Amino acid sequence: MPHKLTIQELTAQLAAKQLTAREATQACLDRIAAVDGRLNAFNSHDAENALAQADTADAAIAAGESKPLLGIPIAIKDVIAVKDQPLTCSSKILGEFNSPYEATVITKLRNAGAIIFGRLNMDEFAMGSSTENSAFGVSRNPWDTGRIPGGSSGGSAVAVAADECIAALGSDTGGSIRQPAALCGCVGLKPTYGRVSRYGLVAYASSLDQIGPVTKDTRDAATLLNAISGHCKYDSTSIPRNVPDYTAPLGRDIKGLRIGLPKEFLGEGLDPEVRAATEAAVKQLAELGAKVTEISLPHTEYAVATYYIIATAEASANLARFEGVRYGARVEGDDPEAMNRATRGAGFGEEVKRRIILGTYVLSSGYYDAYYLRAQKVRTLIRNDFLEAFEKVDLIASPTAPTAAFKIGEKADDPLQMYLSDIYTISANLASICGISVPCGFTSENLPVGLQLLGKPFGEETLLQAAHAYEQSTEWHQRKPDLS
């Protein structure tokens, strides 16, 4: 079954002529037809275009070409621009908009030979932790379709976990790759801010957003990160720094690696079964030779408040461009102001409106210093906590999420409880460091649990080395949901 293969496995079979790219792509299309009616991972997909790309890849393979992702179908979160394909951000306000240009990461994937395949569901404009805030309807967790898959890259995690694609791209503003990966039982990697170009990523919070891979194992995450990393002249926040081979450290032992366990991440609100799985994972890392010590990140308690001030302020500014004049949907009014008000009122969902209002408030005259400026100062304190910790340890370990996947609708009427779903992930975005979630166990209800590892800025090599060592010493990543 080609759709169940990893990037590494499919690449080997394509090279050995055991499979064709067309057969692999068709297998993914057949899988979508079989299961996506229950899961709703995809907003759209163009089968004819995907198969045409596959035929091109097969011709290249037959001609002896060798590229790291040649013939690999990779699905894309519907917030990343692919030329001439829909770009909806799972929002009504973009209507029938098709992107006139291509994101840098898509260009890089094409150059590596990948088949760009489908548009994945998400929380509207990446604002959410459950993929319930989508104009296309909620995506469902393949382990229990009555539960959320996490968010905002819920469609990406569902598609990978359910074998509807070989791998996917998501975006992570406060945990939006790592948290759904944890809840769906796959691997999610948030690169260091500036490691991967944001050109072509529809902005939610520009100082926090980062594109990254969602995959079936850590080697695939490293392979995708190789392909999408690097400096981009179109992104002023992209760092001009050499890209190492992230697959090179995989397989090395982790003896002597120093791992910190922050006491603030194991306190109130952490589900006992998630705690037990995390502690077992940390014990396994120690058995592999890592030195585990308790550390403190003293400003953790302010992270959620800080994040939701900074992120909403930036969202308020970024989403001002959606006004019904230049592109997307339009609701007519008696004058431009009425048209603008009607368009935004009908086009944006409730959570997006909530965050725009909150962001506008904290930026307004009289409140800027009290909220936004103070939040920026606390953000510096949070980043300094991590930098000081990384003087003593190489990596930091924690749960990815405080609970396993909760039931659809369970937290829909309680935004604060929903926001706390990201309590362990948002600090990495505030601190501009890298992080990964890998499967580390299951609850008594057979729901996946994720282990989060956080690394120094541009420390993805060590991050992937440790994640791969842990992954290969356990069998959690090999479990698959039953969708028969």
Lookup: tokens for 2: 């080609």
Prior bond of 229 cis (ω within 30°): no
Q: Please give the angle made by the CA atoms of 222, 23 and 113, to the nearest 5 degrees.
A: 40
> Is residue 351 predicted with pLDDT exceeding 90?
yes
Which residue from 152, 159, 160, 193 is spatially nearest to 176, judged by alpha carbons? Answer: 152
Amino acid at 480: K
Give the pLDDT score at 484.
Answer: 85
Convert the pLDDT of each residue in 456-484 to its tens digit: 999 999 999 999 999 999 999 999 999 98
Q: Which residue has the tokens 């649990």?
A: 449
Lookup: tokens for 197: 């170009």
Looking at 3.55.50.30, 3.40.50.1580, 3.40.1640.10, 3.90.1300.10, the CATH number of the domain 2-256+462-478 comes to 3.90.1300.10
Convert the pLDDT of each residue in 311-336 to its tens digit: 999 999 999 999 888 888 999 998 98
Do β-strands 167-171 and 211-215 pair in parallel, antiparallel, or remain unpaired? antiparallel
| 129, 364 Cβ separation under 8 angstroms | no
Task: Provide Rg for the chain, Cα atoms.
Answer: 21
Lookup: tokens for 416: 């604060």
CA torsion, ordered 387, 388, 394, 398, to nearest 10 deg: -80
Which residue from 254, 216, 187 is spatially nearest to 470, judged by alpha carbons? Answer: 254
Give the pLDDT score at 336.
Answer: 87
Please confirm, yes or no, whether 207 is among the known catalytic residues. Answer: no
Please confirm, yes or no, whether 77 is among the known catalytic residues. Answer: yes
Give the pLDDT score at 324.
Answer: 87
Please confirm, yes or no, whether 152 is among the known catalytic residues. Answer: yes
> Is residue 269 predicted with pLDDT exceeding 90?
no
> Is residue 128 predicted with pLDDT exceeding 90?
yes
How far apart, in whole angstroms, are the C-alpha atoms of residue 451 and residue 277?
A: 8
Give the pLDDT score at 314.
Answer: 97
Of 90, 99, 152, 156, the active-site residue reads 152
Task: Give bridge partners of residue 451 from the DSSP assignment.
Answer: 399, 438
Handedness of CA 280, 282, 288, 292 (dihedral sign): negative
Average pLDDT over residues 372-379: 97
> Is residue 208 predicted with pLDDT exceeding 90?
yes
* CB atoms near residue 169 (< 10 Å): 29
How far apart, in whole angstroms, are the C-alpha atoms of residue 4 and residue 351?
A: 35
Give the pLDDT score at 392.
Answer: 97
Burial 49-59 (b: 16+ CB within 10 A, else e): bbbebbebbbe
Contacts of 177 (CB under 8 A, 6+ apart): 153, 156, 170, 171, 188, 189, 190, 212, 213, 214, 437
Q: Write the secondary structure of 155-205 as one string of H (helix), E (strand) and C (coil).
A: HHHHHHHCCCCCEEEEECCCCCCHHHHHHHCCEEEECCCCCECCCCECCCC
* CB atoms near residue 462 (< 10 Å): 18
Of 91, 156, 171, 176, the active-site residue reads 176
The SS3 assignment for 59 reads helix
Give the pLDDT score at 449.
Answer: 98
How far apart, in whole angstroms, are the C-alpha atoms of residue 450 and residue 444?
A: 15
Distances (CA, A) of 387 to 237, 302, 394, 396, 459: 20, 17, 11, 11, 12
Give the pLDDT score at 415.
Answer: 83
Convert the pLDDT of each residue in 393-438 to its tens digit: 999 999 999 999 999 999 988 888 888 889 999 999 999 999 999 9
How far apart, in whole angstroms, are the C-alpha atoms of residue 134 and residue 91?
A: 7
Confidence label for 310 from pLDDT (cuts 50, 70 and 90) = very high
Put the strands of the sheet holding 211-215 in their side by side order: 42-44, 115-120, 73-77, 167-171, 211-215, 187-190, 434-442, 448-455, 395-399, 258-262, 291-295
How far apart, in whole angstroms, are the C-alpha atoms of residue 438 and residue 333?
A: 50
